[in-house]
């Protein structure tokens, strides 16, 4: 592994485990088993390091989500696959990461915002349009409104004021949110399909 890639990978592990604010450049150096001087050869400050980690993470997410959406499946099956991916992804993220980005690393947060408002929004919009054609989503829904609602739900999961419980599992919160979201979208046909295909993933919150 190249030195820069090693720094990015291992620092992201720290951020996801402990949050961004709490990790110093000294701790990054120790975790990577290199000197701070070496880190500064690639990244002039913590801001630039956080921004590049965010850029790499977003690109990886785009590739993974694109792979899921290009599979030959129905709109609701696509939602389920993305939910499974997000459940795993969110389980590895410290709850304060988004808050830390927004408050302390504005350039990196802008990377997140751009991803949110372009790729993620369009992914949701395309899924909604497919679901309408398939007859599993209600025809009266406003696609852009529901797409924005989904974005708001995801951000809400990382709102430390909303979910103060120390032991709360954000991956389960995500499942509650997507289940609630889908049930507000679907026709009778769609509801039957959703309950059938999502039984295994969602049984933990339906029992």
pLDDT value of position 167: 61
For 74-97, how does the pLDDT look when each residue is reduced to its tens digit (9 = 90+)? 999 999 999 888 877 777 788 789
* Contact present, 75 and 137 (Cβ < 8 Å): yes
Residue 51: name the closest of 106, 122, 132 by CA. Answer: 106
* Mean per-residue pLDDT over the chain, rounded: 89
pLDDT value of position 98: 86
* All residues at 6 or more sequence positions from 92 whose CB lies less than 8 Å from its CB, including other chains: 16
Averaged over 84-111, what is the pLDDT?
87
For 118-167, how does the pLDDT look when each residue is reduced to its tens digit (9 = 90+)? 999 999 999 999 999 999 999 999 999 999 999 888 888 777 667 665 56
pLDDT value of position 168: 66
Supply the pTM of this predicted model.
Answer: 0.85
* Contact present, 97 and 170 (Cβ < 8 Å): no
pLDDT value of position 205: 52
Domains of the chain: 52-206 (1.10.357.10)
pLDDT value of position 203: 64
pLDDT value of position 158: 73
Q: For residue 37, with 0-12 CB atoms within 10 Å meaning exposed, 13-18 middle and 19 or more buried, which class applies?
A: exposed
pLDDT value of position 1: 65
Residue 21 has pLDDT above 90, yes or no: yes
For 160-197, how does the pLDDT look when each residue is reduced to its tens digit (9 = 90+)? 667 665 566 777 788 888 999 999 999 999 999 999 99
């Amino acid at each position: 592994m190249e030195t820069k890639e090693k720094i990015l990978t291992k620092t992201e592990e720290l951020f996801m485990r402990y949050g961004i604010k709490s990790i110093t450049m000294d701790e990054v150096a120790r975790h990577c088993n290199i000197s701070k001087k070496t880190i500064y050869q690639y990244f002039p400050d913590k801001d630039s390091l956080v921004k590049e980690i965010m850029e790499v993470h977003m690109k990886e997410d785009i590739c993974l989500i694109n792979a899921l959406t290009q599979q030959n499946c129905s709109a609701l099956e696509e939602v389920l696959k993305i939910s499974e991916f997000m459940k795993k992804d969110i389980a590895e993220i410290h709850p304060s990461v988004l808050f830390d980005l927004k408050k302390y690393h504005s350039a990196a947060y802008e990377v997140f915002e751009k991803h949110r408002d372009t790729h993620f929004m369009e992914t949701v919009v395309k899924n909604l349009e497919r679901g309408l054609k398939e007859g599993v989503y209600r025809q009266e829904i406003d696609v852009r409104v529901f797409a924005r609602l989904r974005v708001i739900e995801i951000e809400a999961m990382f709102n430390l004021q909303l979910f103060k419980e120390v032991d709360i599992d954000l991956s389960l919160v995500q499942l509650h949110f997507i289940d609630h979201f889908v049930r507000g979208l679907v026709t009778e046909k769609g509801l039957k399909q959703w309950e059938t295909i999502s039984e295994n993933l969602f049984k933990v919150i339906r029992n």
